[in-house]
Amino acid sequence: MAALPTFSLIALIFSFLVVFSTVGGHNITEILSGSPDYSQFNSYLTQTRLADEINSRTTITVLVLSNGAMSALAGKHPLSVVKNALSLLVLLDYYDTQKLHQISKGTTLTTTLYQTTGNAPGNLGFVNITDLKGGKVGFGSAASGSKLDSSYTKSIKQIPYNISVLEIDAPIISPGLLTAPAPSAAEVNITGLLEKAGCKTFANLLVTSGVIKTYESAVDKGLTVFAPSDEAFKADGVPDLSKLTQAELVSLLEYHALTEYKPKGSLKTNKGSISTLATNGAGKFGITTSTSGDEVVLHTGVGPSRVADTVLDATPIAIFTVDNVLLPTELFGKSPSPAPAPEPVSAPTPSPAKSPSPAEAPSPLAASPPAPPMDTPEGAPADSPAAAENSKAGNAAGLSL
């Protein structure tokens, strides 16, 4: 009976999923949800997806503004500016009240989330913390000549050395922060950015298929693009795209984008299957994620792909490069199952897609060997979902050869 081993495999995979999904163990939204006074700040952390970024990190300090102090930012500025301003309030070090008062020589510069975004010129992503006379602690931009316009008021919550949440009385404003022009989503040249990022093949496919129009019309409501590099299209196991019907090619290209803004922090904290532009029914054409250290790995059910570089992260659009072409099971393989298929079968299973999608017709591509097992991202634990998926891919390859 294969029932028991299958069950324990499923249990094993689930236990790994649990480990993968509780990175930092804290939830800033929940921490702040008890205080109506932080409702605006909390709402902006969610809107900008900074909450996910905060939850995916440890050893951090979040400087929180009450609704009164938040009004200096909220409403008057585009979301991109608010996001930068709030990123400057996320310190990449752990400061509780005691540590604030024990800063050596009474003053220090600390790096913030803003510095990691690549949007902060020079040292504008650093914050100056100074222990002032009379027990007051001041915060200001690290830019020379900046004043310490913001002061510590009280502690909100500490989970020692993971996250400290402190209230300050005013935003920290670095030079140019509030006057930065909002990138207009309509002005983002997706194909231009993709070409520069080494994804020329993908950009050309988007243009020749017309799918670029679908991407562009999704931008306003949020768009995340996973662009395979030119190398990815040349890799072994990539199906011959010229054998795809037009409808299949469209589905494949739509599969490489999400209809929501999901920056890296959100991918890291993601749970469950994410819908793509190709999704045409519950659970169809979805992508799942896992993390390995700071890396995010996408899983299609056919094979994994590492999220390589961030080409653009400008609310509401994010563009990433990925190492492999994302092959949906609806076009290229068996339906995903929670455990690797235990028995080798001798004939390829027809795609189970029940949609008007072209996958109804047995696709010639189903016979193409999926990505080889050596695609496992470096450092991924042998028993990770990625590894399980690889063995599934290996089985699928066995089926079709």
Ligand X SMILES: *[C@@H]1O[C@H](CO)[C@@H](O)[C@H](O)[C@H]1NC(C)=O
Question: Residue numbers of the site for ligand X (CB under 6 A)?
Answer: 24-25, 27, 29-30, 33, 55, 58, 107-109, 128, 130, 140, 148, 159, 162, 189, 191-192, 195, 269
Q: Which is nearer to ligand X, 116 or 130 (CB)?
A: 130
Tell me if 232 sits within 8 A of 303, measured CB to CB. Answer: no
Q: How far apart are CA 372 and CA 392, in angstroms?
A: 11
The pair phi, psi for residue 192, each rounded to 5°, is -60, -45
Q: Which is nearer to ligand X, 29 or 39 (CB)?
A: 29
**Residue whose Cβ sits closest to ligand X:** 192
- Angle of CA points 357, 336, 237, to nearest 5°: 80
Other Cβ atoms within 10 Å of 198 Cβ, number: 18
Q: Which two tokens stand for residue 225?
A: 């693009």
Q: Which is nearer to ligand X, 6 or 27 (CB)?
A: 27
- Shortest spacing between CB 127 and ligand X, in angstroms: 9
- Shortest spacing between CB 36 and ligand X, in angstroms: 14
- Shortest spacing between CB 97 and ligand X, in angstroms: 18
278-300: b (≥16 Cβ within 10 Å) or e: bbbeeebbbbbbbbbeebbbbbb
Over 314-329, what HEC string results?
ECCEEEEEECCCCCEH
Q: Which is nearer to ligand X, 44 or 332 (CB)?
A: 44
Q: Which is nearer to ligand X, 9 or 148 (CB)?
A: 148
- Shortest spacing between CB 316 and ligand X, in angstroms: 19
- Shortest spacing between CB 265 and ligand X, in angstroms: 11
Q: Which is nearer to ligand X, 159 or 235 (CB)?
A: 159
Sign, CA dihedral 131-26-49-64, equals negative
- Shortest spacing between CB 128 and ligand X, in angstroms: 4
Tell me if 211 sits within 8 A of 278, measured CB to CB. Answer: no
Tell me the DSSP string of 309-377: EEEEEETTEEEEEESS---BHHHHSPPP-SS--SS--SSPPPP---SSSGGGSPPGGGGS----GGGSP
Q: How far apart are CA 40 and CA 253, in angstroms?
A: 38
Q: Which is nearer to ligand X, 58 or 245 (CB)?
A: 58
- Shortest spacing between CB 95 and ligand X, in angstroms: 14
